[in-house]
Amino acid sequence: AVRFGADIALVSRDHPDMNGVEEVTYGEKTPFAITGPGEYERQDVTIQGFLSKSKYPTSPQKATKDTVAEYVNTIYSVELEDMTLVHLGTLSDTELSKEARESIDEIDVLFVPIGGDGVLTPAKAHELAVSLEPKIIVPMHWSGIGAPRALDSFLKEAGNGSEKVDKLTLKKKDLVGRDGSIIVVTP
C-alpha cells in the first residue's frame, strides 16, 4: 500500500489497468492528474505529452481479433532535477510522431513497455529503446498485466546484462557513464 501521496500522476491510456490515480492518492494529498497530450508545468516539473497509438485491449481479458482496435496513448517526457524521463505508456508501434521524435532527443531514463496484449513485443521494445539512446532503460508492463516471459525475452535481446532493484532513486550524478543501462524494478 502507498504510504505517501504523489504530486503528479501521468495517465498514458485511460483504462483501469493504467489509470491508477487513486492508487497514488494518500490522505488529503490528491495528485495533479495529467491525462493526455499537451504541455504542463507543475512544481518545477515540465511535462510534454505526445499523442500516440495503443492497441491495449478495452477489457482486462485477452485481446481477440474482435477487441483489437487503436486507442489514444500518451507518451510523456518529464523534465525534473536536470533530468529527462520518458514514459512510453502502452505504446504498440515503434513509429513515433515527428513531434515526439524531435522533442525527446536527450533521454536520461526511458520507461518502455516490453510485452503483453496490445503493447510492443520484447524485440520491438528493445529496438525502439536502443534507437532512442537513453542512458537508462527501465522495462515495464512485464509483471502482472504483461506477458510472463517478456522480461527474459527483453533481457536476452539486450544481451548486455541488467541491474535489478526494488526501488529506483536517481540523481543526475547517477547517470554519468551510463549508455543504455537496463534497470529492472522488481515488484
Q: In this structure, is residue 19 part of a structural domain?
A: no
**Contact 121/82 with Cβ under 8 angstroms?**
no
DSSP state, 134? -
- 129: domain CATH number? 3.60.15.10
Residue 10 lies in a domain: no
pLDDT tens digits for range 146-182: 666 899 999 999 987 899 999 999 999 999 999 999 9
> Is 63 contained in some domain?
yes
Instruction: Report whether 47 contacts 5 (CB < 8 A).
Output: no
pLDDT of residue 47: 97
The reply to whether the predicted model has a pTM over 0.85 is: yes
Is 120 domain-assigned? yes
Question: Per residue in 54-68, pLDDT tens?
Answer: 776 665 555 555 656
8 Å CB contact between 140 and 114? yes
**Residue with the three cell numbers 492518492:** 25
With pLDDT > 90 as the criterion, what percentage of the chain qualifies? 52
Provide the number of structural domains found in the chain.
1
Report yes or no on 5 lying in a domain. no
**Assigned domain for 53 exists:** yes
Q: What range defines the domain where residue 176 resides?
A: 37-185
Does 146 reside within a domain?
yes
Inside any domain, residue 45:
yes
- How much is the pLDDT for 126? 96
